[in-house]
Every structure is written in C-alpha cells, then in structure tokens.
C-alpha cells in the first residue's frame, strides 16, 4: 500500500450537497478528516466479515480486491422511499436509539440518499444508470480500492472502477461502499460517481444508496431495521 494525502472534509461543498457538521458523526461515511491509501491488489479470497468489519475496524491484510460481479443485478434507489414516508419508521427507530430527533434524522438522510439516478443495472462489466427517462450506459474495469481512515478512528474501503467505454455523459469513475472489505455478493450499497477520482473520495455527505429492485419498500424497511 502507498499512503495518499490527508484530506480535511470540513464544510465541504460537493455538487449541491453540504456537510452538516452537527450530523457528521451519525453515519459511517461522514467522519470528517480522512486519510486515503491506494491498492491495485487482486484476489478471489472471500471474507464473511464481522461486526467489527461492518463498523470499520479491520486490518489491512483482511482487505481483498473485488470485481464488479459483487454488485451484479438490478438496483433501486431508496431516496423515493424516504420522500414518500415509507422510511419514517426507520427514522423513528434511529431517533429512539440515537442522538437526534426524527426530523433531524430525516434531514440528514435526505442529504445522504439524495439522487436523481433512481435505478442502476449492473450486468457483466456494464453499468446502466437510469435517471427518469434518460439512460446512460458504460463499461468499467477495476481501478483498485482506497482505504479511508476517519477522524474517530474507524475506517472504510471504497472499491473503484474506471470507465473504459460507453456514453460520454456516464461517469468516469464509480466507487462502491457496502461495509465489506473482501469479495462477497452485496445486499445493498452506497455508490459515489464522478469524473475526478481523487475529488470523489472527499465526498462523505451524499451517499446514494441502492437495494435490490425486487424488494418492496416495506421489505427494505425490514432490512434496514435488521442492521
């Protein structure tokens, strides 16, 4: 591994998303200052993970590179379910066990989940982004991963893929985060996309989140409450 630079997130403005400092500690993706490490390692070894890994505590030796096949399938954004009230019970559950009110959690996740890409289909090496009636499609190859070390001490891994061909408006880079650090089929994921690899790693406030398109809103609620 070679070390990258330390990036101060602070009150970073990315696109139309602003970091809300008071909420930063409430989600694994918003821990302020991050240090990035890069790897192009490849492996087919599988790790079933643990609670510690899910929470962001693991050794570098446990990380294995992943292929796009881990995220194969038809995926739906959860943002519409936040907007229509389906996820209200999830916000209420968080308020009962967390440090913010229901409205504060709802506002926080409105920033986190917000996206106009309502459906993503991953098939082989191709990724199709559906934005209402607009469709963008491109092929991607692995560009390794980055380890993000957060201010409070836990860490995360983003698995990165770079566009090799496809629609010009499709993002050059996509970065997956699903709380796993080795090959495994994803049950949901957070996705970051853009044309600048390094700048994209600074995005920690807006993390569009996708669950299988086959799930109903109520089924997604059950999945969320189980974590």
Domains in the chain: boundaries: 2-226
What average pLDDT does this structure show over 173-192? 97
Query: pLDDT tens digits, residue range 134-156?
Result: 999 999 999 999 999 888 889 99
Query: pLDDT tens digits, residue range 170-179?
Result: 999 999 999 9
Q: 2-226 belongs to which homologous superfamily? A: Calycin beta-barrel core domain (2.40.128.20)
> Whole-angstrom Cα distance, residue 200 to residue 173?
8
Element (H, E) at 164: strand 155-166
Cβ neighbours for 155, distance < 8 A, ≥ 6 positions apart = 56, 57, 58, 147, 148, 149
At residue 110, the pLDDT reads 98
pTM to 2 decimal places: 0.80
CA dihedral 158, 97, 94, 109 (to 10 degrees): -50
> Whole-angstrom Cα distance, residue 180 to residue 69?
14
Using an 8 Å Cβ cutoff, are 221 and 89 in contact? yes
- Nearest to 119, CA basis, from 59, 173, 73: 73
Q: How many CB atoms lie within 10 A of CB 60?
A: 13
At residue 209, the pLDDT reads 98
What would the two tokens of residue 204 be?
């920690």
- Of the pLDDT bands very low, low, confident and very high (cuts 50, 70, 90), residue 50 is confident
At residue 227, the pLDDT reads 77
> Whole-angstrom Cα distance, residue 227 to residue 183?
20
């Amino acid at each position: 591994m070679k070390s990258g630079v330390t990036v101060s997130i602070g009150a970073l403005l990315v696109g139309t998303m602003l970091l809300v400092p008071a909420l930063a500690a409430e989600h694994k993706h918003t821990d302020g200052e991050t240090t990035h490490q890069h790897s192009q390692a490849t492996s087919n070894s599988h790790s079933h993970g643990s609670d510690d890994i899910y929470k962001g505590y693991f050794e570098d030796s446990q990380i294995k590179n992943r292929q796009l096949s881990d995220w194969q399938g038809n995926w739906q954004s959860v943002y519409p379910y936040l907007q229509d009230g389906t996820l209200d019970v999830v916000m209420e559950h968080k308020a009962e066990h967390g440090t913010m009110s229901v409205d504060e959690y709802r506002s926080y996740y409105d920033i986190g989940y917000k996206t106009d890409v309502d459906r993503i289909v991953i098939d082989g090496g191709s990724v199709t982004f559906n934005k209402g009636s607009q469709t963008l499609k491109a092929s991607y190859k692995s560009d390794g991963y980055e380890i993000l070390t957060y201010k409070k001490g836990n860490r995360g891994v983003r698995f990165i893929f770079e566009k090799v061909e496809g629609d010009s408006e499709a993002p050059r880079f996509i970065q997956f985060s699903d709380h796993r650090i080795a090959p495994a089929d994803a049950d949901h994921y957070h996705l970051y996309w853009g044309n600048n690899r390094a700048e994209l790693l600074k995005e920690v406030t807006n993390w569009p989140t996708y669950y299988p398109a086959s799930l109903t809103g109520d089924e997604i609620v059950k999945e969320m409450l189980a974590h």
